[in-house]
Amino acid sequence: MNKVFNSEEFEKEWRALAQKICADVLAHPQIQELKAQLDTNGFLNLEQKSEFITAADKIKYDLIFEQYGSLDSDTYKQFRSFWQEWLKSKGVASMKVQSNTQSNVDHFLYGSTPDPEKFLKEFNS
């Protein structure tokens, strides 16, 4: 990561990681089990939604820490600072959804976790 913040470079790197997070979340065995339950039942109960969010967040943070270092590392602190600067520069207008897949990536980009049912249904097609 560069020492000087560059919004375009940061967004390119961060978007690539968010896409990897989406792919890894979907491929995870626990998530695949939830996907099968959603396909069978047509919905996820609250416990299953919570399970999805917990697993997705763990995958997200494991990948972030793998790329940027542990919470107390200088590289993670710099990432966090750059992410906050990038987030401020984007504002609400950047949340316009271009596609379902883009919507899931944007959730991770902007620091949230996608809705479990919506995430899994979008990848059904």
Secondary structure (DSSP) of 53-101:
HHHHHHHHHHHHHHHH--TTSHHHHHHHHHHHHHHHHHTGGGG---SHH
Please give the model's pTM, rounded to 2 decimal places: 0.83
Report the Cα–Cα distance between both ends of the chain, in Å, rounded: 36
Chain segment 37-79, per-residue pLDDT in tens: 999 999 999 999 999 999 999 999 999 999 999 999 999 999 9
Q: What tokens appear for 47 in the block?
A: 């416990």
